[in-house]
Each structure stands twice: as structure tokens, then as C-alpha cells.
Amino acid sequence: MVISTESTSTRAVVTGVPRPPRTEQAGRRRRKWGAEQVLLYALLIFAALTALFPIFFLLTGSLMSLQELYRGASLLPTELLWGNYATAWVEGNLAVYLTNSLIYTLTSVLGILIVSSLAGYALARLEFWGKNVFMFVILAVLIIPAPAMFIAQYKLLIGFGLTNSPVGYVLVMITAGIPVATLIMRSFFVNQPKDLEEAAALDGASSFTIFARVILPLARPGLAAVAVIQGLGVWNEYLMALVLFRDDNLMPVQRGLTSFVNSETPQEQILLAATAISVVPVIILYLLAQKQIVQGLGAGALK
């Protein structure tokens, strides 16, 4: 059983080569600047307001005193308490946790990229026994609910002596990312033109050489897309980290946030400040990769 991903179009767009400017289209649009565009922008701005609301909530709330935040009477802080951020940074041990999260996210994403691009390429281009079986397994794995495996995964890591170790954690994170990443990479490769590979193959290059020297350099946009989608998942993971790491100094950033979730001595304003700090790397990553992603997916992934 296979996802239908074969492109129906025969067009070959090589990624990285700029597309011809869409002058006709732009021209047509210019003619229509009017009620339609006003309505369009009203919709876009309304949606942006609802989507950006948490940023507003987070920034204002993180500068309030706890009493003010709890009273919830006003949306804006009467006095800006920047000290909340210092408290969050120090008490949340964010210097340590953020470093850990960066390391785990970068290594996991790198691992996911390597494993899933290899698998995706094989599924897209090579012919071999058991290909369909593997495709089915990928889909089935995607579907198994996470709580079903959680305990058993944990027991297994104990068996390998990989608890309290970044290696065990990163391996689990990589595995969790493989199915989606492989599907995306496969679709990406299916839509890549075959010319360069065929030329290399005629020259007698082995599949691995073709992959490493020809395919990967061209796959950068697809890899960027996978990196952003998977990076967010690793960055926000907490449950596995919680049970795996006994040493608090190995915990990821979500651990720093939960230290402010406590019903007996509530510190919601600090939680908000810590959250604001912790999402900065994710947003930066997204901004950096945004162009690549849209280009990458647009260039054929998911087709």
C-alpha cells in the first residue's frame, strides 16, 4: 500500500534555479486592487491578530506582578517588572537547560535528516525487495499512538543502560521523527529531475556516491523543511526527558518551565517570562528557514 505521491505534472523545475518572474499574474492582480484586496487584508489581519494574541498575552503577563496577573482586571501591566525575566533565567536554570535543548535538538535533527534522506531516497528511486513492506511499516508506525509504547520504550532503554544519557534520548527522538521526515523526503526526491543522477550512473558512479555528491546538495530546501518541522517537536518534548534523565542538569528547557508550575506557590508570571525566553530560539530557527521551507516544499516535497 502506497501513498499516492506521483506527480501528475511533467514539468521539471530544478530547485535553486530562480523561476521566471510571474509578470502576467502580478499584472492581473494589480488591476484588481480594490474591494477584494481590502476584504482579503481584513481577513489576513484578523487571523494574524488571533494568532499573535499569545505573544501579547505572554509579553504583558510576563511583566506583571503575580497579584495583577491573577486578578486579570487589566490587559496591560501597570508597572513593567523586568525583574521577572531575571528570576526566570536564574531560578529556571535556563542557561543550562537551553544549552541542553540546543544540543539535543541539533543532534536529533541532524540524525533525522541523515536517516530520513537515505530512506526517502531509496523509497523514491531505488528498486528492491520489501520496498512496499517498508512503506507500510512507516505508515503504521506513524499511526501507533505514542502512549502505547512509552513505558516499553523506557524499559528497553533501561535494558541498554541508556537511561540518564543524552545518547538514549537523542536516539528515541530520532526514531520518533523518522516516519514523517521520510515521507516528506521521499516526496521531495520523487519530484527531483532524474537527469543528473542518470548521467552520473552512466559514468559508473555507485548509488551512494550519487546520493552524497549529487542528490544531497540539491535537496537542501527539503532538508530545511524537515529540520523545522522536526526541530519544533524535539524542542517541545518533555515526557520522555522527564523519565529518562535523573540528573537534572541533563534536562531540556521544558524542565525549566515546569519548575514554575506549582499550585501551592504559583509563579505564573515567571512561567510566562521563561516561556517567552524559551520560544525565541524556535522563532529564530523558523525565520531563518522560512524561505527555504516554502521553497523546499514548493519545489516538490509533498507532491
Partner 1 sequence: MLAEQYEEETGVVVTVDTPGPADYVAKLQAAAQANDMPDVYTAVGATDMAPFYKAGWALRLDDELADGWSDNFTPAVLELTAFPEGNPLEVPAGSYAAYWELATFGLLVQPETAGIDAANPPTTIDEMIDEFNDGTFSVAASLTPSLLQSYASNYMTDEEINATFTGDAPWTTDAWENTFQLLVDLTEGGVIANDALPGGSDDNPTVEKSFFNIQDTGAIFDGSWAVAVAKTTAPDFTDYVSMVLPAASDGDYEPRSPGVTGRGAAVNAKGDHVDEALAFVKWLTEPEQQKVFVDEAGMIPTNPELLDSLAVPDQIAGMASAIGDIQIVPVQLTADVNDAIIRGSQSIVLGEKTVEQVLEEVQTAQDQSS
Partner 2 sequence: MTTPTAVAAARRQDLAPRKRWPYRKHAVGLLFLLPATALICLFTLVPFAQAILLSFQEWDGISPDTPWVGLENYERVFGDQVFWESMKNVLAFAVIGFFIGNAISLGMAMAVHKARRARSFFRTAYYIPGVFSVVVIGLMWGWLYEPSVGIINRLLVSIGLEGLQQNWLGDPALALGSVAVTFVWYHWGFGFILFLAGLQDIPAEQYEAASLDGARAWAKFRYVTWPHLVPVTTIVGLLSLLGALQIFGTVQVLTNGGPGYHTMVPTLVIYTEAFTSHRYGVAAAMSVIFGGALVLLALIQLGLTQRRSRS
Binders of partner 1 among residues 233 to 262 (CB under 8 A) are 239, 242-244, 246, 248, 255, 258-259, 261-262
Residues 39-98 that bind partner 2 (CB under 8 A): 40-41, 43-44, 47-48, 50-55, 57-58, 72-73
Q: Which of 200, 219, 227, 273 binds partner 2 (CB under 8 A)?
A: 200
Give the residue with the Cβ less far from partner 2, 107 or 182: 182
Residue showing cell 541542553: 100
Residues 234-253 that bind partner 2 (CB under 8 A): 236, 238
CB-based contact 117:303 (threshold 8 Å): no
Instruction: Look at residue 271 and give the partner it binds from partner 1, partner 2, none, a contact being a CB closer than 5 to 8 Å depending on partner kind.
Output: partner 2
Alpha carbon distance 182, 117 (integer Å):
7
Interface with partner 1 includes 70 (CB under 8 A)? yes
Instruction: Look at residue 252 and give the partner it binds from partner 2, partner 1, none, a contact being a CB closer than 5 to 8 Å depending on partner kind.
Output: none
Q: Which of 5, 13, 58, 66 binds partner 1 (CB under 8 A)?
A: 66
DSSP assignment of 58-97 equals: HHHHTTS-HHHHHH---SS-SS--THHHHHHHHHTTHHHH
Q: Which residues contact 218 (CB under 8 A, 6 or more apart)?
A: 14, 15, 16, 192, 196
Q: Which of 38, 80, 261, 288 binds partner 2 (CB under 8 A)?
A: 261
Alpha carbon distance 124, 182 (integer Å):
10
Binding to partner 1 by CB under 8 A, coded x per residue (else -) over 145-174, reads ---------xx--x----xx----------
Tally Cβ neighbours within 10 Å of residue 182: 26
Conformational region of residue 8, where left means phi above 0, alpha means psi within -120 to 50, and beta covers everything else: alpha
Instruction: Look at residue 78 and give the partner it binds from partner 2, partner 1, none, a contact being a CB closer than 5 to 8 Å depending on partner kind.
Output: none
